[in-house]
Amino acid sequence: MRVPGGSAPKSRYGAPMVLAGAVLLALSGCADGGDNDAVATTAPPPTTVSAPVTTSAAVALDVEALRTAGSTATAAVAGSTLISIETERDHGWEVQVVTADGVEHEMEVSGDGATVTMGPVAKNEDDADKAKHRDRIRAARVDYRSAADSVLREVPGGTITELNLDSDNGTTVWESDVIDPSGTKHEVTIDAVSGRVMSNTTER
């Protein structure tokens, strides 16, 4: 019973309920703080940035390796002339050279162009093939180095994957496969007498 003018009687349950609420609030705060700490200390995964596949330096190295491989191959067979060079899957070079008698010699050269890794081996060809090689070599005024330069002027920044001395409708030519910086393949034909670009076709 309330006494007039007196204070209201205190509930037996008031203090314990307030205390319990405070404890729950504190526990809740600790739990939230633990989660926040876990989020804050979790590092983001590392980011890897890939460099461009084709760069000016890489192209320059490819061209220099081609020239070096050609020099290595012709030095391996005295008095020979390079008629074909192409890249291999193991990043080496397959090279064919021909001597003055028309005999073709095949070999493989390391990727940097410095070492013959297989061969040279003389091919067993008939007289007609030997005569064909001699005729093309005599007709050509542009060697593989100059032909490669002409190809790369036509396809700036390109990477030559194949270069062959051949004949096109009676004209002695250098035929080349080259990949431009966008990945497009070009087939470029160079007049082996004048060095003029005769054609440049593309395919994906």
Q: Cα–Cα distance between 101 and 83 in angstroms, integer?
A: 14
pLDDT of residue 91: 80
pLDDT of residue 22: 42
pLDDT of residue 10: 45
What are the angstrom distances between the C-alpha of 20 and each of 9, 27, 30, 33? 21, 11, 15, 20
Domain ranges for the chain: 56-203
pLDDT of residue 139: 97
pLDDT of residue 37: 46
Among the listed residues 184, 162, 185, the one whose alpha carbon sits nearest the alpha carbon of residue 175: 162
**Other CB atoms within 10 A of residue 2 CB:** 8
pLDDT of residue 18: 42
Tens digit of pLDDT at every position of the chain (204 positions): 444 444 444 444 444 444 344 434 444 444 444 444 444 455 555 544 433 444 455 555 588 999 999 999 999 999 999 999 999 877 899 999 999 999 999 999 999 999 999 999 999 999 999 999 999 999 999 999 999 999 999 999 999 999 999 999 999 999 999 999 999 999 999 999 999 999 999 976
CATH fit for domain 56-203, picks 3.40.228.10, 3.40.50.300, 3.10.450.40, 3.40.109.10: 3.10.450.40
The 3-state DSSP class for residue 104 equals strand
Please provide the size of the chain in residues.
Answer: 204
**Other CB atoms within 10 A of residue 170 CB:** 6
pLDDT of residue 153: 96
